[in-house]
Amino acid sequence: MSEAPCQTEETVGLFAGQHVLAELSGVSADLLDDEQFLRHALGEVLTQADATVLEVISKKFDPQGVTVLALLSESHASIHTYPEVGSVFVDVFTCGTRAKPALAVQLLADALGAAHVSTDVVTRGIKEHAA
């Protein structure tokens, strides 16, 4: 039987999670325009942060920029790059308590060599149960 959205084996039925919104800057334009690197990097950092990656899709834009979306058992993650200004928006939402979205964002910032990281964390759902 498949799991319902926002459920993991540790937190079945838990309607709570962490939504990390981030802006990274000071990143190489070449990296921010490299679709394959970004797909691989997002998948890897999510796995290292204990998220379950189901699928990764992406779109490279002309003349520049890439959007990458990851479907997770725990919810989703996305990156939207702006090579012309060396910046990227990152959005990672995981429900339950196993996955660590803030860690995923930090690992991605490290992989991109970001000079500056700004994050906001939103606790969603039932507040007293969120990680």
Which position among 2, 75, 78, 116 bears the catalytic label? 75
95 is catalytic: yes
CA–CA gap between residue 27 and residue 95 (Å, rounded): 29
Q: Let me know the angle formed at the C-alpha of 93 by 28 and 32, rounded to the nearest 5 degrees.
A: 15
80 is catalytic: yes
Residue 53 DSSP symbol = E
CA–CA gap between residue 78 and residue 58 (Å, rounded): 9
129 is catalytic: no
Hey, CA dihedral for 96, 111, 122, 84, is it positive or negative?
Answer: negative
Which position among 25, 80, 116, 118 bears the catalytic label? 80
Active site residues: 75, 80, 95
